[in-house]
Chain A
Amino acid sequence: MRNIGLVLENSLLQLVRRTAVDIPADVEAVVRKACADEPQASNARAVLETILENIRLARQVDAPLCQDTGGLLFYVQVPAGWDTNCFASAAGAAIARATREGTLRQNTIDAVTGQECPLNLANGSPSIHFTQAARDTIDVRLVIKGGGSENVGCQYSLPNEELGAGRDLEGVRRCMLDTAFRAQGQGCAPGILGVCIGGDRASGYACSKEQFLRKMDDRSPVSVLSALEERALQEANQLGIGPMGLGGKTTLLGVKIGSLSRVPASFFVSVSYMCWAFRRRGILLESGGGIIRWLY
């Protein structure tokens, strides 16, 4: 068991390092396109070129893409009956090493005392979602999400008088536009919206963040949601908020919408905001904890 633990820990350390440093190709591609779309001598273009240079430099010097190494969200699919405590322990050890070496900033604070929680390990850190399935490999996905973007997410309870949003897809559209507008550049635009229609206040937000496991070029398999994703993206960009809120053509890079069932009395629309530094990676592990291949 100890041997598996160490192999797993090393695999997870590699995952943490790569996620913090090396932005995935699908995200970089949309940033490049957004950059090319902005006029040459514009602040928007200069910002996006700085971002692309930062992406390049982070890989070159093997250092964190962004200094807010955020909260770590693990999504783990394990074989039925697999020891999830072993995973949690290995993940904790990997995070401790990543913090000591400067890959992760000392970024975790006790909300009551204000004291730092050493090595980013505390109640609530990291966040690990486990699902079991009939499988013999382990699918581990990691999203690193900074505080700035987290602060500009929003959850709506429909109907919402102020937005004129009823309990329908038009209401959902108004909620998404509202989030993008309110965020301005504060979430480090251009960002990505992860949205959940339905659920309760907890599951709605959780599901909205799971949308960030989707690739930038995918579309919802539900045709009305796919159309809404496209429309919400176009409309957010018509706001003209631009990179960092300094004005420009690209305010959002993507919109991903999922849904859950709801109780009759509630209709929540949960919108999470991901910044341009969309740090999302994954690894497929064999049962001994070694990496078979990288996902994304």
Chain B
Amino acid sequence: MAVLASRRIQAPFTEKVVRGLALGESVLLSGPVFTARDRLHKHIFEGGALPVALKDGALFHCGPVMLQKEGVWQVRAAGPTTSMREEPYVPTVIRTTGIRVIIGKGGMGAATEEACAKFGCVYLQATGGAAQVLARTVERVQGVHFEKEFGMAEAMWELVVKDLPAIVAVDARGDSLFRKVAASSCRARYHLLRDHPAEPGGKKGRSAR
């Protein structure tokens, strides 16, 4: 594997460390992370009680496949889920819990980007579908909460990870790599449509009805 110069970061995350992460930088993250999907986000957003303190910690947008063997939970697969579904909740979640790192896939919206800048939080992109690479980084399953209420995929799994690879996709200034790519791809699309010669018999790009 090509080795980008990756910075190692360890939970709990200080504001200084988080604000020092550069957009597009490659990191290896270690320490406890808490999985959080739709049900848990809604629960936190609505002021629901949490059994653990999340301050200076990391949330992982993930619904892992878990297996219990002789009473011990093991991670069978653990890639990130699409983060954008949580956009309505995340700014509040950042504000009320004090988390500093969100690991997910696909990026977040403007409100989350602003919250990252305001409160000192970053969004890290973990490779989508890399369920085995990420499962391998889990040293142990420390606990699980809300499994009965939310089910396996939506429960809050506490996973202790070592060197989980991710890329800083939204930094603590609120700048987003996804927005940059969306803007440049928008320009490229414009050229791919504009430069096409007119269809016979109608306006450019259209046929007669």
Task: Give me the interface of A with B, judged by CB distance under 8 Å.
Answer: 40-41, 43, 45-47, 49-51, 53-54, 57-58, 61, 63-69, 101-102, 104-107, 116, 146-148, 151, 159, 164-168, 170-171, 174, 177, 181, 184-186, 188, 235, 238-247, 275-277
State how many residues of chain B have any CB contact under 8 Å with chain A.
Answer: 59
CA A127 – CA B84 in complex, angstroms? 27
Residues of B within 8 A of A241 (CB): 181, 185
Query: Nearest Cβ in chain B — how far from A41, in angstroms?
Result: 6
* Total of A-B residue pairs, C-beta within 8 Å: 192
Verify A246–B167 contact, CB threshold 8 A. Answer: yes
Verify A65–B207 contact, CB threshold 8 A. Answer: no
- For residue B41, CB closer than 8 A to chain A, the reply is no
Which of B45-53, B109-117, B138-146, B186-194 forms contacts with chain A? B186-194
User: Known: A46-B2, A47-B127, A239-B189. Is A246-B65 also a contact (CB below 8 A)?
Assistant: no
Most buried by A among B106, B129, B132: B129
User: Known: A186-B84, A238-B192. Is A247-B125 also a contact (CB below 8 A)?
Assistant: no
- For residue B20, CB closer than 8 A to chain A, the reply is no
Residues of B within 8 A of A106 (CB): 151-153
Verify A177–B192 contact, CB threshold 8 A. Answer: yes
Q: Considering only CB atoms, which chain B residue lies closest to A276 in the complex?
A: B129
Interchain CB contact (< 8 A) of A54 among B81, B130, B192: B130
Q: Considering only CB atoms, which chain B residue lies closest to A239 in the complex?
A: B185
Residues of B within 8 A of A63 (CB): 76-77, 131-132, 135
**Chain A at the B interface: mostly helix, strand, loop or mixed?**
loop
Residues of B within 8 A of A58 (CB): 131-132
Residues of A within 8 A of B188 (CB): 238-240
Which of B10-18, B93-101, B196-204 forms contacts with chain A? B196-204
17 pairs from A and B in contact (CB 8 Å cutoff): A45-B2, A51-B129, A54-B131, A57-B133, A64-B77, A65-B77, A102-B76, A104-B65, A105-B63, A107-B153, A165-B205, A168-B207, A184-B182, A185-B105, A242-B181, A244-B125, A247-B181
CA A104 – CA B153 in complex, angstroms? 12
Verify B207–A184 contact, CB threshold 8 A. Answer: no
User: Known: A181-B186, A246-B177. Is A43-B199 also a contact (CB below 8 A)?
Assistant: no
